[in-house]
Structure 1
Amino acid sequence: MKNCLSSGLVLVLITVATSIYGQAAYTQTEKRLVYTVVERQPEFPGGSVALSRYLAATIKVPNALVRKNYNTGPVAAKFIIDELGYVRDVRVTTKPLDKKAKKGMQAFMANIIAAVEQMPRWEPGEVDGKHVAVFYTLPIEVNMQ
């Protein structure tokens, strides 16, 4: 029990220290380091233009949201790009949902998750010339017109 508490405290202190001092921050998941700051960011095959095209082609906005011209607000997909370039642990963040749009927004978020999970392999991020897992936040711009 004492070992669990002390190792948990060390992890918290490391997280606090890295965020305070601005050094390469990382978190521990599945016994692998996942960086938030790297020397070279992961890159989608073909770059940001290809990524925008991929998202436009694969993410569909549900008709319920289009009919209501619902303002989704800021939407972001957060995921890990592992050291081999595969996408893992996809999550979507959005503004709090009101009851009227909840069903449509849940379908929209499911579409985003499916599209991100099916992405081709990325060029992984690098630290000290080695491929590393990177936590990545991808803002999703929604245009209802």
Structure 2
Amino acid sequence: MKLPVASLLFLTAISFALLFSGSDAVAQSRSEKVYTVAEREPEFPGGKAALSHYLAENIRIPGSLVRRNYNTGPVAAKFIIDELGYVHDVRITTKPIDKKVQKGMQDFMTSIISVVEKMPRWQPGEVGGKRVSVFYTLPIEVNMR
């Protein structure tokens, strides 16, 4: 009976040693908070009109989607704007993708990610008068007309 308990303790000790050994296999975590709501939200240089213009000028809709007049449905870019105004961790959400237009939608999402990553620095969000990192969701409206 003592042997299984000793084995369990040994395995637990090894698990903790591996977990805290600084191995590259352990996931990295952000040490600062990332807010979902800030007292002052981040702002694109020039405001919402400038952001809309920037997106319209830079996002490319693949020809395959235009030819099919495909309704992309709701598309959103989700990312973090850090305390210096830089964009990080861009992700795209969309409706389920129809297999007929999968390649076109992948190209479209890649274009959005590229454009968002290349955005100029934002005015960062603030909480208590201090600049903070903020999660930001940017809905992207597509008009095929």
Same fold per superposition (TM over 0.5)? yes
Alpha-carbon separation, structure 1, partners of 2:61 and 2:139? 15
Post-superposition Cα deviations, 1:65-124, rounded to whole Å, max 9, x if no partner, equal 000000100000000000000000000000011110100000000000000000000000
Instruction: List, as ranges, runs of 4+ consecutive aligned residues in structure 1 with deviation greater than 6 Å.
Output: none
Match in the other structure for 2:32? 32
Equivalent position of 2:83 in the other structure: 83
Partner of 2:125: 125
The Cα shift of 1:57 comes to 0.4
TM-score (norm 2): 0.80
Write the letter of the residue equivalent to 2:34: V
Q: Distance in 2 between matches of 1:31 and 1:62?
A: 39
Paired residue for 1:114? Answer: 114
Let me know the Cα RMSD of the aligned residues.
Answer: 1.7
Read off the aligned partner of 2:83 and give its amino acid letter: E
Matched, 1:71 2:74: no
Q: Distance in 2 between matches of 1:71 and 1:81?
A: 29
Work out the CA distance in 2 between the residues paired with 1:37 and 1:117: 21
**Identity over aligned pairs, percent:** 71
Structure 1 residue 44 displacement after superposition: 0.1
CA distance in 2, matches of 1:76, 1:51: 14
1:137 — aligned with what? 137
| Aligned-partner residue type, residue 69 of structure 2 | N
Aligned to 1:60: 60
